Amino acid sequence: ELDLSRNSLEGSLPSELFLLTKLTSLDLSDNAILGGIPGTVGKATSLAVVNFSDNKLASTLPPEIGYATSLVTLNLANNRVIGSIPSEIGKLIDLKVFDVRDNELSYELPTEVGNLRSLNGFYLQNNRLLGPLPSEIGQMSNLKKWHMSNNHVFQQIPPSLYEGNSLRNLEELDLSYNLLTGDTSDGANVGLFSTKLTSLRLNNNFFRGTHAIVDELLKLSSLEVLDLSSNFFDGVFPRSMFALSNLKELKLGNSGLRVYGYFSNLVEILPFSSLRELDLENCRGLSGTIPSEINNMIHLTNLNLRSNQLEGSIPTEVGTMVYLQNIDLHSNYLSGRIPTEIGKLSNLQKLIVGNDYNAWRYKLTGSIPTELGNLVNLEMIDLYNNDLTGLIPTEIGKLTNIKVLRLSKN
């Protein structure tokens, strides 16, 4: 075992390093190593763990990597590795962790990845990978974590990935920020959801349809994270999903899904103790008032209720939600004053209560609370198009982190 991590090492990898035939673990992470991985890596037949993450490697992944057949962990995260993933990667049949996140890899995934049937963790996020997903991924039956966000993958998810419950051990799935399409109304694309899933992120794609995906979601009782935002679904999101006891993040904003009923009724069933982020932007049917009981969600950091039909005042109890970082209530039917209690939210970074409606009865009134000057972490205040009066508090001048201050049309 050789561990030289976090030593500010520079220069390139010596080819002789991989001729140490009895070396089982090589950790050079968090240095400043340049160049590429030499072809002699294929001679390191005893090497089980390679960690070159957080360096400045800037070459292709050599095909000789396929001859390092003892590899169990290959971590090249956060480098500048370019080109394609070589097809020879499929020879690493004992590989359990393949981490190439945060690089500049491109082209399509090779079909040979389907041979990695021992793989538990598949981390490809933040690259430039493109093309359709290979159907052979459906052979990776031991896969638990698959993260592929922020690439250029397009077309539909191939049937082999959801037929026969092929990815039955999957616990985390993140395909967000891609170009994936497909109509889920007929059941296509949805059997991919293993009942073991705790985190599901499909946001910022081009999925459409709804009823089949809803049926599948209802089976996911262990979900902690659900993000379907920014898609083209069509239908009603089931009320029962709001009651999942382990839910930490629920994001449906601009998904096309509708949430009917009074927001106060949803607040009653949401998991108070676990929920951290709630995004119901533009859910087309969410109405009623913001209840005082919202402060029962004591760990909430992000609250996005933009572009709904909420009315009445902002409850003063919001001021007790001390972990809040972002509040977005833009374009609802709110009225009344901005609660001075918001000045107690020391972690708040964004306060967005602007308005795109011109009806006088849907305006916030009164003065801008001087207490906002206490919120030293504020980066954005949007009070646009309300009916606020009085002077702009001098205390606003204390907010040295402010980037956006929008007070027009008051």
CA angle 384, 389, 393 (to 5 degrees): 85
Report how far residue 312's alpha carbon sits from residue 314's, in angstroms, rounded to the nearest whole number. Answer: 7
Would you say residue 189 has pLDDT above 60? Answer: no
Q: Is 122 exposed, middle or buried (0-12, 13-18, 19+ CB in 10 A)?
A: buried
Question: In this structure, which amino acid lies at residue 132?
Answer: P
Average pLDDT, the chain: 93
Percent share of the chain, pLDDT over 90: 81
Render the burial of 223-239: b for 16+ CB within 10 Å, e for the rest: bbbbbbbbbebbbbbee
Q: Are strands 2-3 and 25-27 parallel, antiparallel or unpaired?
A: parallel
Give the tens place of pLDDT for each residue, 223-263.
Answer: 999 999 999 988 888 888 888 889 999 999 999 999 988 99
pLDDT band at 78 (very low <50, low <70, confident <90, very high): very high
Amino acid at 347: N
Give the separation between CA 380 and CA 213, rounded to whole angstroms.
36
Using DSSP, state whether 401 is helix, strand or coil: coil
162: pLDDT strictly greater than 80: no
